[in-house]
Amino acid sequence: MSGKAPVKDYMTRDVQTVSPDDTVEEVARRITESDGHNGFPVCHGRRVEGFVTARDLLLADDEAPIFTVMTDELVVAHPEMDVNDAARVILRSGIQKLPVVDDASNLVGIISNTDVVRSQIERATPEKVGKLMRTLEQIHGISVTQKRGTVELADLIPTQARVYADELEGRQYELERGLAEPLVVIDSNGTLLLADGHHRVMAAHGIGIEEMDAYIIVVDEDVELGMQRTAEKEGLASIEDISVVDYARHPLVETTKRFQ
């Protein structure tokens, strides 16, 4: 990814909203029963009128309409806004979620602090992909292409024999909050080699995730890649063959500890 990334590339488009005429009791129930929501945009039709959070409801009467307790001095984002600018607004305002509105003030999405963090993580990944593509082309004298897609974890052939148990905890935390980088996978004539993301894959496998987002490097030519030879040498045919090392910490952690 190059240039400025717009908010529309990272915002959530399917946004739950409430009406100005809904009661405090109704909205409080929705917050309680929802999966992680602590507030909602307040909309009349598609037009954003305000935002209500759980904190706004604390001392309000159950029968009070939401328009009497909502915040109507809104901070919003535009879908074409640079995601870095949205990050600055979120940081400086302390607001966790920004409604995203079009030129007519109609709600088209919402962007959260989590989405902003994800945008920064994902922008680093194409650099890895580009470097790997150039390396493959130079070593094997071939041309490769790249696409973005979803891969089934069961179809992946790992190229790394072991992962570290302590690092899996961090990767699981990222996955549960939508912060994990996409995988980097090489599609060599239908054989899917996992080039980057072994800890993410094993963390996902451990919590029952069956597919993940990936940058896929496509190799159409009939060539045996070094990674494929490594996988065969290590006896790696599926992610089930990856060993989880739980008796030692990551080497970088140990190295850091020795210098403290």
Bridge-based pairing state of the strands 107-112 and 97-101: antiparallel
For residue range 140-176, list pLDDT tens digits in order. Answer: 999 999 999 999 999 999 999 999 888 898 889 889 8
At 260 the pLDDT is 44
CATH of domain 142-258: 3.90.1530.10
For residue range 44-100, list pLDDT tens digits in order. Answer: 999 999 999 999 999 999 999 999 999 998 899 999 999 999 999 988 888 889 999
* pLDDT surpassing 80 at residue 249: no
For residue range 195-213, list pLDDT tens digits in order. Answer: 999 999 999 999 999 999 9
The structural architecture, per CATH, of the domain 7-115 is Roll (3.10)
3-state secondary structure 1-45: CCCCCEHHHCCECCCCCECCCCEHHHHHHHHHHCCCCCEEEEEEC
At 23 the pLDDT is 97
At 117 the pLDDT is 85
* Higher pLDDT pick, 251 / 26: 26
Residue range(s) of every CATH 3.90.1530.10 domain in the chain: 142-258
Residue range(s) of every CATH 3.10.580.10 domain in the chain: 7-115
Backbone angles phi, psi at 204, to 5 degrees: -65, -45
